Amino acid sequence: MAKETKGVDITSWQWPKIENYWGRRPYGTQSVDWEERINMDRMRQYKLNRMKEMLKKHDCGAILAIGEWNMRYITSTWNAYWTTPSSGLRYAMLPATAKGAILYEQGEIGFQAKQIAPWLDKVKVAITGAGWIGRTMGARASIQQRDKMVKQIMDDLKEYGVAKERLALDTWDPGLVEAFTAAGVTLVPALDMMLEARMIKNEDEVNCLRTCSAIGDAMFAKIAANLRPGIKESELCGMAHEVAYRLGARVYSGIFVTSGPFAWPNPRDESDRMICPGDIVYADVYNTSYVGYKICYYRTFSCGKASQKAKDDYKKSVDWLYDAIRLIKPGVTTKELAEKWPPGPEIWKDIHIVAEDQTAGSNWGHGIGLTLYEYPIIWRETSLYDPITLEKGMTFAIETQHGTPGSHGVRMEEMVHVTENGYEIMSKWPIEEITEVPLF
């Protein structure tokens, strides 16, 4: 029988380790003894070391993460979709002096976390009330929970000998800032620190992205195999989701298919439109993830033969894309890549583009990893004036598009890894021409 916990200070309580817990049921089935595959231990240690380097560089004694993907980077744990992005239902902290991170897990989930994540220093009970979820409890209850959480964090900072040092906080919640400041803690924003840490991927992180890109290839194959007159955009989108889950991926509010006149300008969504003979169709498998690592990856198809005008628009867009890609190597700046793209107001007058602010997400690139947008961003509106230098180990998606209003749109995107002397394209579906799918 479990001990009565009435009166227990839950802020200091830890989940216990259950001996021989894994003897009660089997592990998952994707590991083997005859091939290394992705070295998860090496990846976890690399990310932990990166964070400790950042704490030292930014003169902080610890980092407190409430954002789900920063938590995943720090702890190599995750929870289901409902905790994202910064609910405050769970959080994590890495003191500079700790061997591993402390996970504060929501509700009873910490029981499982303690058993399955032995690399964590501690697994404690999350005091639900940080982040947006606390506001739903009522004003007095929210303050009560916030103050319990701050006490919990302060006790752990003291235990690890860093209570008098600066604390990096990744979610600038006004209530938490107020409470930590009142407790005498000097807070610093952690967003830049986390982006800097996550910017350079090790070989295992890149392998996660390669694997996810391969899953994207399979999703496009499913779309191509089922592209027929009368099928709906939403049906093709659902088929792509099925492939992702079958191959061990997760999808976070992602994937869309669009066609015909809906494809230009780009709505970035799917509908129940039926596809017709001659329609140009493109799909994005964005926010599909493998072990948390995301892809963003477009390809263009034709239901039957593509028109010459669509082929011309497609060639122009591919040329824009690869004029930039061929420059990629360490030391090149995002300015040099963005300069390869013509100004938006010059090429897209027909859809009333008058400023580059209207071209966000059109001809551009974005760092990618645990989240869809990381360092670097490549875009004429910002990169021409505030360039970022490419470094070995960066990973990003780079994309271009074009079209004829009322007729068709074309779009393509590549997953790129910056190597020592150049680049690797991780996305493999053919890109040189529109993929034409026979009508029968």
Show the tokens assigned to 358.
């209207």
Res 150: pLDDT: 94
**In Å, how far from its chain's centre is CA 334?**
20
Asked whether the beta carbons of 364 and 377 are under 8 A apart, the reply is yes
What are the start-end ranges of the H helices in 139-232?
139-159, 174-182, 191-199, 203-226
How far is the C-alpha of 46 from the C-alpha of 74, rounded, in Å? Answer: 10
**In Å, how far from its chain's centre is CA 133?**
22
Q: Which three-class secondary structure state does DSSP give residue 364? A: strand
| Backbone phi, psi, residue 43, to 5° | -65, -45
pLDDT digits (tens, 9 = 90+) for 278-320: 999 999 999 999 999 999 999 999 999 999 999 999 999 999 9
Residues in the chain: 440
pLDDT digits (tens, 9 = 90+) for 159-218: 999 999 999 999 888 888 999 999 999 999 999 999 999 999 999 999 999 999 999 999
Q: Which residues, other chains included, contact 58 with Cβ-Cβ below 8 Å and sequence gap of 6+?
A: 166, 168, 188, 193
Q: Which domains does the chain have, with CATH numbers?
A: 30-194 (3.40.350.10), 200-437 (3.90.230.10)
Asked whether the beta carbons of 328 and 335 are under 8 A apart, the reply is no
**What stretches of 41-121 adopt beta strand conformation (E)?**
62-65, 91-95, 102-105
pLDDT digits (tens, 9 = 90+) for 367-399: 999 999 999 999 999 999 999 999 999 999 999
Q: Which residues, other chains included, contact 137 with Cβ-Cβ below 8 Å and sequence gap of 6+?
A: 129, 145
Token pair 């100004």 is found at 343
Helix and strand numbers (H, E) in the chain are 12, 18
**In Å, how far from its chain's centre is CA 235?**
25
pTM of the model: 0.93
**What stretches of 231-274 adopt beta strand conformation (E)?**
250-251, 256-259
Asked whether the beta carbons of 74 and 101 are under 8 A apart, the reply is yes
